[in-house]
Amino acid sequence: MSRPRRTRVGIIGAGPAGLLLGHLLHRQGIDTVVLEARTRDYVERRQRAGILEQGTIDVLRECGAGARMDQEGLRHDGIELRFDRQGHRIDFPSLTGGRSVMVYAQTEVVKDLIALRLEAGAPLLFEAEALAVEDFHSTAPRVRYRHEDAEHVLECDVVVACDGFHGIGRRSLPADALRVFEREYPFSWLGILADVPPSCDELIYAHHERGFALHSMRSPKVSRLYLQVDRDETVDAWSDDRIWDELATRFAVDDDWALRWGPITDKGITPMRSFVAEPLRHGRLFLAGDAAHIVPPTGAKGLNLAVADVTVLASALVDWFAHGNETALDSYSDTALRRVWRAEHFSYLMTTMLHRDPREDAFGHRLQLSQLRYTVSSTAAATSLAENYVGLPLI
């Protein structure tokens, strides 16, 4: 097999961030190589976020990656906040000048971007594990990687680490090169996929004395639901019947709404964490997406932050390669981090407003209910939630 030895931009990770960056640069005639440690099948099946902000929708459409999204994605014009056995809708278009979100799973975004890259004949190596990023403070950084039981070296002008929280990109940096900000939450999410039509037209965020619950969907026939569970909980402790019983309890309202039950096809536990590593540039090594930051999924920001990062970075790289202008590259970290911290704050507010913290007393619970009531009764508060949820401008 012929492997590329030299490229302008070496990209570690074939998730949405790495694939979209490669696609944006390829469209501008900039050579890239994408290295992915996992198999193609794993990458295309990995369950992650499913809510696309308006800005993410616009980027995918503009770069030619939105055709299937527009055919199969589900436009949502609001969400429901449910508490005290009552539902309260937040209408996005009326509060944000017509903007909305779309339900379209990350797995489908990844499939679309992989298909575009393979159609273009651009290098994409699966089961190619990056081992280290070397000489990133020089003008010729390198990625050492293992592929088909042998080690190889990819020489680059620039390396972009889009390889997630546990990836080698950030770990290649000395500890004193980063400022790390982190918060772990004392609970996790138990997430399921079920072969049953959704019980709602839009997402339901439920605050209950037993804990948070979220009703989402992947398609008109597949539901995606979540339960707040203890941080040390295991999937084995939750039978299908127990999951559905608990979901029904937490979503219960005083009208005739009912939760639809069906076969559960997937279960998983997701810990809740907020994390930011600054800066996002280190010489010729750039961090993007989960390699640089993690948000709790309550605000639906993870995938959207990754798209925002690489959209800004792609524009900066194009300017540099075409004109030798490094101004936008120099400001990439500051530009991206402004959006990252806004999303971190919104995700934190949504998480702390909706979840029951086992360390909190009755006073804390009353504060949560007060915030929820204010959010659904105040146009100003509802507008703030809606603006952050549909997404602020990319730059």
Please write down the HEC assignment for all residues of the chain: CCCCCEEEEEEECCCHHHHHHHHHHHHCCCCEEEECCCCHHHHHHCCCCCEECHHHHHHHHHCCCCHHHHHHCEEECEEEEEECCEEEEEEHHHHHCCCCEEECCHHHHHHHHHHHHHHHCCCEECCEEEEEEECCCCCCCEEEEEECCEEEEEEEEEEEECCCCCCHHHHCCCHHHCEEEEEEEEEEEEEEEECCCCCCCCCEEECCCCCCEEEEEEECCEEEEEEEEECCCCHHHCCHHHHHHHHHHHHCCCCCCCCCCCCEEEEEEEEEEEEEEECCEECCEEECHHHCEECCHHHCCHHHHHHHHHHHHHHHHHHHHHHCCCHHHHHHHHHHHHHHHHHHHHHHHHHHHHCCCCCCCHHHHHHHHHHHHHHHHCHHHHHHHHHHHHCCCCC
Residue 47 — very low, low, confident or very high, per pLDDT cuts 50/70/90? Answer: confident
Task: Tell whether 15 and 27 lie within a shared domain.
Answer: yes
Check if 226 is active-site. Answer: no
Domain of 126, CATH number, reads 3.50.50.60
Owner of token pair 């994408």: 34
Which pLDDT score is estimated for 378? 98
Residue 250 resides in a domain: yes
Task: Tell whether 176 and 236 lie within a shared domain.
Answer: no
Which one is catalytic: 145, 185, 205, 226? 205
Which pLDDT score is estimated for 48? 72
Which one is catalytic: 23, 215, 282, 301? 301
Which pLDDT score is estimated for 395? 60
Contacts of 35 (CB under 8 A, 6+ apart): 10, 11, 12, 13, 14, 125, 128, 129, 130, 143, 145, 154
Question: Per the structure, how many domains does the chain have?
Answer: 2
Domain of 260, CATH number, reads 3.30.9.10
- 10 Å CB burial of residue 327 (0-12, 13-18, 19+) is exposed
- Please compute the mean of the pLDDT values over residues 277-296 and round it to a whole number: 97
Q: What are phi and psi of 365, to 5 degrees?
A: -65, -40
Task: Tell whether 242 and 166 lie within a shared domain.
Answer: no
Task: Tell whether 23 and 114 lie within a shared domain.
Answer: yes
The mean predicted confidence, pLDDT, of the chain is 96
Distance CA 132, CA 167 (A): 10
Residue 89 resides in a domain: no
Share of the chain above pLDDT 90, in %: 95
Whether the predicted pLDDT of 155 surpasses 60: yes
Residue 144 resides in a domain: yes
Which one is catalytic: 23, 26, 76, 282? 76
* pLDDT tens column, 200-244: 999 999 999 999 999 999 889 999 999 999 999 999 999 999 999
Q: Report whether the peptide linkage leading into residue 297 is cis, meaning its omega lies within 30 degrees of zero.
A: no
Closest CA to 185 of 211, 218, 157, 155: 211
Whether the predicted pLDDT of 263 surpasses 70: yes
Tokens of 305: 């932050």
Check if 389 is active-site. Answer: yes
Residue 319 resides in a domain: yes
Task: Tell whether 18 and 110 lie within a shared domain.
Answer: yes
- Least confident range from 46-55, 141-150, 195-204, 348-357: namely 46-55
Task: Tell whether 174 and 210 lie within a shared domain.
Answer: no
Closest CA to 251 of 31, 120, 87: 87
- Please compute the mean of the pLDDT values over residues 362-386 and round it to a whole number: 97
Owner of token pair 């293992």: 146
Domain range enclosing 370: 186-272+358-390
Task: Tell whether 12 and 156 lie within a shared domain.
Answer: yes
Residue 243 resides in a domain: yes
Residue 96 resides in a domain: no
Task: Tell whether 330 and 217 lie within a shared domain.
Answer: no
Residue 194 — very low, low, confident or very high, per pLDDT cuts 50/70/90? Answer: very high
Whether the predicted pLDDT of 298 surpasses 80: yes
- Please compute the mean of the pLDDT values over residues 44-49 and round it to a whole number: 80
Distance CA 339, CA 351 (A): 18
Task: Tell whether 157 and 21 lie within a shared domain.
Answer: yes
Which one is catalytic: 226, 297, 332, 355? 297
Check if 104 is active-site. Answer: no
Which pLDDT score is estimated for 353? 97
* pLDDT tens column, 16-44: 999 999 999 999 999 999 999 999 999 99
Task: Tell whether 106 and 32 lie within a shared domain.
Answer: yes
Task: Tell whether 42 and 136 lie within a shared domain.
Answer: yes
- 10 Å CB burial of residue 205 (0-12, 13-18, 19+) is buried
Distance CA 286, CA 291 (A): 10
pTM exceeds cut of 0.85: yes
- 10 Å CB burial of residue 313 (0-12, 13-18, 19+) is buried
Residue 94 resides in a domain: no
Distance CA 206, CA 203 (A): 10
Residue 86 resides in a domain: no
Check if 221 is active-site. Answer: no
* pLDDT tens column, 125-134: 999 999 999 9
Check if 301 is active-site. Answer: yes
Task: Tell whether 193 and 335 lie within a shared domain.
Answer: no
